[in-house]
């Protein structure tokens, strides 16, 4: 790429020769016009922080890192590191910058590995059996889940602690015991200690594998070896920036997180909020279309579900699916089904009273990038994650609707219909062209 030997003045030269006045004046004018600033640079040969301090042996040709002041104002701990120079008399620069600490809340997420602990079931049962002065079944379940969240946080910190550190300590303990056996020979005491240490490290590794499996979202793998390397590889492949550091708004690049967040909220609020014109259009369509659902099918769709129907819906939900605002996965409910009576009452309450609490109907909106590089909010695709109790109700209704959907869907509809495939349309179109 060539050398860049421009300096800002004679104070950046260690030789007796003065720099070209026109060259350094043009360079200073360029920096002022573009609003660029210099990164504080620490190197093996000089220290550059605000003002340049140079030893006498440093050459006059300098390397520098320049970037816009608007960019720098939204980044944290910006500095450049001057590396040692080899074949050239210039030092390579490594620019380091990071986002400022985020003030986001740390939301609760249920970890499926907790189920493997011997104390888990007892701790959950003691928390769930504590009485509450609440009469609404739905609010009853929500309040107990909220109380359980707080207890799980404390229990996880005090009982499990740092998992990686526990694995290292247990592995070292097993290694010390085996070294003693190798030097002194087997004894009953050392044999018992070795068996106990092996059991502890196997349990710790199983918890680690379960945690990685939950994070990797592997749905097709049912059982098999404890393959943590496989899950680590999936996590590395799926790893993407979780923070939207910049976004193009009204033709200009914005780095302020508050402005970006408000812009995203306004965009999707306008996108998903129906206008008065659209509501009138829906009303006109309802007048034109006939009511196809019979009274018999309507009674089947709206009847109060029995115990078996709720149990089927609970155990059909993927145990590794992403949780909603409550933070609990379906794995928790499937493993702790002793709370089934409260779940039955809460689900039946919705079908009896035809209403949901505001918190129960809350959802978590997650933005997934459509492209490799996200530049505008239109490049983000939203998905919604619901509370598990809401998923049960949706699953019950979807299962019932699946039974009668073929009776009311147009015969030309192929996608998402049981017994039909969208590939049939492709084959029909291909035959029609021929």
pLDDT (tens digit per residue) in 324-339:
888 888 888 988 888 8
Cβ atoms of residues 42 and 4 within 8 Å: no
DSSP track, 145-198: HHHHHHHHHHHIIIII--HHHHHHHHHHHHHHHHHHHHHH---HHHHHHHHHHH
Q: Length of the chain in residues, anyone?
A: 434
Q: What percentage of residues in the chain have a pLDDT greater than 90?
A: 4
- Answer left, alpha or beta for residue 217, where phi above 0 means left and psi between -120 and 50 means alpha: left
Identify the domain boundary among 47, 68, 98. 98
Rounded to an integer, the average pLDDT of 138-154 is 88
Residues 117 and 228 in one domain: yes
Residues 229 and 253 in one domain: no
Residues 293 and 428 in one domain: yes
Task: Return d(Cα 166, Cα 294) in angstroms, integer.
Answer: 61
- Rounded to the nearest 5°, which phi and psi values hold at 78? -90, 130
- The pLDDT of residue 221: 59
Cβ atoms of residues 64 and 41 within 8 Å: yes
User: At how many degrees (to 10) do helices 388-408 and 307-316 cross?
Assistant: 100
3-state secondary structure of 82: strand
Identify the domain boundary among 203, 238, 273. 238
Residues 353 and 263 in one domain: yes
pLDDT of 64 over the 70 cut = no
- Answer left, alpha or beta for residue 265, where phi above 0 means left and psi between -120 and 50 means alpha: alpha
- The pLDDT of residue 326: 87
Rg of the chain on CA atoms, in Å: 32
- The pLDDT of residue 61: 39
**Domain span at residue 54?**
10-98
Matching residue, tokens 């200009």: 252
184 Cβ contact list (under 8 Å, min separation 6) = 190
Evaluate whether residue 3 is within a structural domain. no
Evaluate whether residue 252 is within a structural domain. yes
- Comparing CA positions, the residue from 64, 94, 98, 90 lying closest to residue 81 is 94
Rounded to an integer, the average pLDDT of 175-185 is 82
Rounded to an integer, the average pLDDT of 236-256 is 75
Q: What is the DSSP letter of 378?
A: G
pLDDT bracket for residue 222 (50, 70, 90): low
Residues 296 and 424 in one domain: yes
Evaluate whether residue 285 is within a structural domain. yes
3-state secondary structure of 97: strand
pLDDT of 289 over the 80 cut = no
Residues 302 and 363 in one domain: yes
Other CB atoms within a 10 A radius of the CB of residue 356 amount to: 16
Residue 52 pairs with which residues in a beta bridge? 48
Task: Return d(Cα 50, Cα 40) in angstroms, integer.
Answer: 7
Identify the domain boundary among 184, 209, 238. 238
Q: What percentage of residues in the chain have a pLDDT greater than 70?
A: 74
Residues 140 and 275 in one domain: no
Evaluate whether residue 107 is within a structural domain. no
pLDDT bracket for residue 51 (50, 70, 90): very low
- Comparing CA positions, the residue from 45, 43, 44, 42 lying closest to residue 57 is 45
Residues 301 and 357 in one domain: yes
**Total count of domains within the chain:** 3
């Amino acid at each position: 790429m060539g050398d860049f030997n421009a300096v800002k003045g004679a104070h950046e030269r260690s030789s007796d020769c003065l720099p070209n006045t026109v060259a350094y004046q043009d360079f200073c004018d360029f920096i002022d016009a573009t609003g660029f600033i210099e990164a504080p640079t620490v190197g093996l040969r000089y220290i550059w922080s605000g003002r340049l301090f140079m030893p006498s042996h440093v050459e006059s040709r300098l390397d520098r890192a320049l970037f816009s002041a608007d960019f720098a104002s939204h980044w944290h701990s910006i500095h450049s590191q001057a590396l040692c120079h080899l074949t050239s008399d210039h030092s390579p620069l490594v620019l380091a910058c990071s986002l400022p600490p985020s003030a986001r809340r740390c939301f609760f997420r249920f970890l499926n590995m907790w189920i493997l602990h011997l104390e888990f079931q007892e701790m959950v049962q003691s928390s769930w059996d504590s009485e509450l002065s609440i009469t609404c079944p739905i609010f009853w379940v929500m309040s107990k889940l909220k109380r359980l969240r707080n207890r799980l946080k404390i229990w996880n910190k005090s009982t499990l602690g740092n998992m990686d550190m526990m694995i290292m300590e247990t592995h070292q303990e097993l290694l010390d015991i085996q070294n003693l056996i190798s030097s002194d020979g087997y004894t009953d005491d050392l044999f018992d200690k070795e068996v106990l240490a092996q059991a502890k490290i196997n349990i710790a590794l199983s918890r680690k594998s379960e945690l990685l499996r939950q994070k990797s979202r592997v749905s097709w793998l049912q059982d098999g070896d404890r393959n943590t390397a496989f899950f680590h590889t999936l996590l590395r492949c799926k790893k993407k920036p979780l923070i939207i550091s910049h976004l193009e708004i009204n033709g200009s690049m914005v780095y302020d997180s508050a402005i970006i967040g408000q812009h995203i909220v306004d965009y999707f609020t306008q996108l998903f909020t129906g206008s008065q014109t659209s509501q009138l259009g829906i009303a006109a369509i309802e007048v034109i279309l006939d009511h196809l659902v019979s009274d018999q099918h309507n009674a089947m769709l709206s009847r109060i579900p029995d115990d078996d129907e709720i149990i089927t819906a609970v155990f059909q939900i993927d145990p590794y699916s992403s949780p909603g605002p409550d933070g609990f996965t379906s794995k928790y409910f499937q493993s702790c089904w002793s709370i089934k009576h409260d779940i039955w009452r809460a689900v039946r309450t919705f079908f009896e009273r035809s209403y949901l609490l505001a918190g129960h109907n809350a959802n978590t909106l997650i933005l997934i990038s459509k492209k490799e590089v996200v530049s505008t909010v239109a490049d983000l695709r939203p998905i919604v994650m619901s509370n598990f109790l809401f998923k049960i109700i949706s699953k019950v209704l979807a299962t019932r609707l699946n039974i009668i959907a073929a009776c009311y869907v147009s015969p030309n509809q192929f996608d998402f219909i049981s017994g039909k495939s969208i590939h049939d349309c492709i084959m029909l179109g291909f035959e029609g062209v021929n």
